[in-house]
Structure 1
């Protein structure tokens, strides 16, 4: 879940039910996609199904946070639906992240920062990294945002975390298994593990442990995408942070907003387009000027910024809540009102 600055933002959760079905919640509402709908729009975010792979879900918040979730069915030791989650943030968060994913500042040396601020040496053993770094970021029962079944709780999983001791020994495979896993993970048969990239290492480990090639290859694809983003330094366009996500107005108000987006990369070319406009509104894609005479009710504008250089997209939505204009009587109505007031006063004075 992302803490958005929209007054209408709500907690979002994606879970796997006990019947092995994905369940998406926003607040207390369970969300579902209609057959011909692939995107759900909300004031602070969108939830999209991948057009080519319906098992991929993309959650994008207007504040510059994107989470991609792959629903994967593993078959060993039992058939289970699991979530493969990848997160990315806009460039404005550089140096402002912390946690298991490290600090987004381009310095690998401080990524293993424990919750108390202590930086763990990257050359430490796996067991040391687990105990001194990983365990410190286990879910706090008091602040947990996860959704739990009726007979479970944050405390239940917190206690499980404390009791769990992972294996710190690299999985061993037979020669035939090693060759098969290398093939599935696009690893050169003669290469040494030290030369593998993070995507290949993750894939190899996942298949070694689960014996499920589809699970490992999903990790490989996700890892390769992250490597590609890192190599190309690709972040989506960023809209002006002063743009509102919610705005109140009166019927008849003339609303003008300059909607612009930029990229942190000098070579990027940003193209603006309107996904949705209120009735009779205008948006100039060249200047970014949005103009609209407010109509009573709830309306929204949604603008897309497309980075033509790196094929990246960002969107920004503003919800307008338009109320009635305060009633102002005409000059004739004022005269009539004064006449009847004077008449009533004279009548009561008799």
Structure 2
């Protein structure tokens, strides 16, 4: 790989919930994918594809540990595809896509821009300055990209033995970026690999073609270029059709605090913005002894002490668009009933005490 190329090898995220743990996804030096939730190392058993936590779920979307979805209950989803590069050496890199709920419109910032429908304010530096997209690549890199470099003192990333945030911060400081636009070159082999017409002007290339051309030129790695081409085409398709997945009823809770034995009944529904489309509900996970009717959307459960999860998916059957809603149940155990028996000659009193004691045992151990 060229020394001028930059790839993503590690990802970390955490919501601002006080109980939230940091999720870390890293391509290790041994070419293994390492997942952490807090300090816990995560592994998927062969028959397990979803891991549930109070604030999020982690889904394995294939059987090869190469495609994952991280979904937070606040309405943020990160999809990660793991790409195995082979040129010039074998290594794992991450292709990352992010989607957020509409309620965050106008409330985002960072390298991915501002989610407000405008393109003129996406290049906003960390201090709030807006950088012109008409500037040179070097100006954009210096005045926008570098300002979002990770602060070693607050890094959330996972570091292997012998690695430190300070080490990578120093590597970033001395890194000499290349500001030569490869699009200005004319490489027929790359044209063919990226589905670009040989006579087409670079100004007519779409996002997927430009990204593919750049990645292949800089890395000479077909796996990375193909992944970029596929991701770019998928994004263009979404933009063209403005296809949004079904929306769940806004009144559905994200969490519920219950007491043991509480009867829970929820009416779960989701609708499509396309009136003629059919939305199907399906169950991803439910608490033990709970029932869910996918036809009526009725969920019923008698609460059991502990922490439990419900995850329901909704599929637009026309476009195969899928969304999901997760609910966390925090169930408090009932306090034990303490019975004080009294001695006496009254048989009625003794009988009453005996009955209460048996009921207490039933509540405690039944």
> Same fold, TM exceeding 0.5?
yes
Runs of 5+ consecutive residues of structure 1 not aligned to the other structure: 341-350
SS in 2 for 1:319: strand
TM-aligned CA deviation for residue 291 of structure 1: 2.7
Which structure 2 residue ranges, 5 or more long, are not aligned? 1-11, 343-347, 355-366
2:213 maps to which of 188, 201, 204: 204
Q: Could you tell me how far apart the structure 2 residues matched to 1:155 and 1:309 are? A: 50
Q: Distance in 2 between matches of 1:27 and 1:154?
A: 17
Question: In 1, Cα distance between the equivalents of 2:103 and 2:149?
Answer: 27
RMSD of the alignment, in Å?
Answer: 3.1
Output the CA distance in 2 between the equivalents of 1:39 and 1:261.
Answer: 22
Could you tell me whether the CA contact under 8 Å between 2:52 and 2:309 is conserved in 1? no
What is the deviation of 1:230?
2.0
Shift of residue 98 of structure 1? 0.9
The residue aligned with 1:36 is 47
Q: Deviations over 1:18-57 (max 9, x none)?
A: 2111111111111112223333333332222333765222
CA–CA separation in structure 2 for the residues paired with 1:179 and 1:166? 25
Q: Distance in 2 between matches of 1:214 and 1:222?
A: 12
Aligned to 1:135: 146
**Structure 1 residues 50, 100: CA separation in 2 closer, same or farther (over 3 Å shift)?**
same
With the length of structure 2 as denominator, give the TM-score of the two structures: 0.81
**Farther-moved stretch of structure 1 (130-139 vs 64-73):** 64-73
For residues 319-338 of structure 1, the aligned pairs below 5 Å read: 319-327=328-336, 335-336=349-350
**CA positional deviation for 1:62:** 2.5
**Pairing 1:98-117 to 2, within 5 Å after superposition:** 98-117=109-128
Q: TM-score, normalised by structure 1?
A: 0.84
Counterpart check, 1:169 vs 2:175? no
Partners of 2:328 and 2:351 in 1: how far apart? 39
Q: Does 1:23 align with 2:40?
A: no
Aligned residue number for residue 346 of structure 1: none
Q: CA deviation at 1:90?
A: 2.3
- How many residues matched? 338
Offset from partner CA, 1:144-177 (integer Å, 9 cap, x none): 21112232222222222222221111238986xx
Q: 227-236 or 215-224, which moves further after superposition?
A: 227-236
Please list the CA deviations of residues 218-243 of structure 1 after superposition, one character each: whole Å capped at 9, or x if unmatched. Answer: 11111111222222223333445654
Deviation per CA, 1:170-209, whole angstroms, max 9, x where unpaired?
238986xx11111111111111111111111111011111
| Aligned 8 A contact 1:237 1:263 in 2 | yes
C-alpha contact (below 8 Å) 1:59/1:68 kept by paired residues: yes
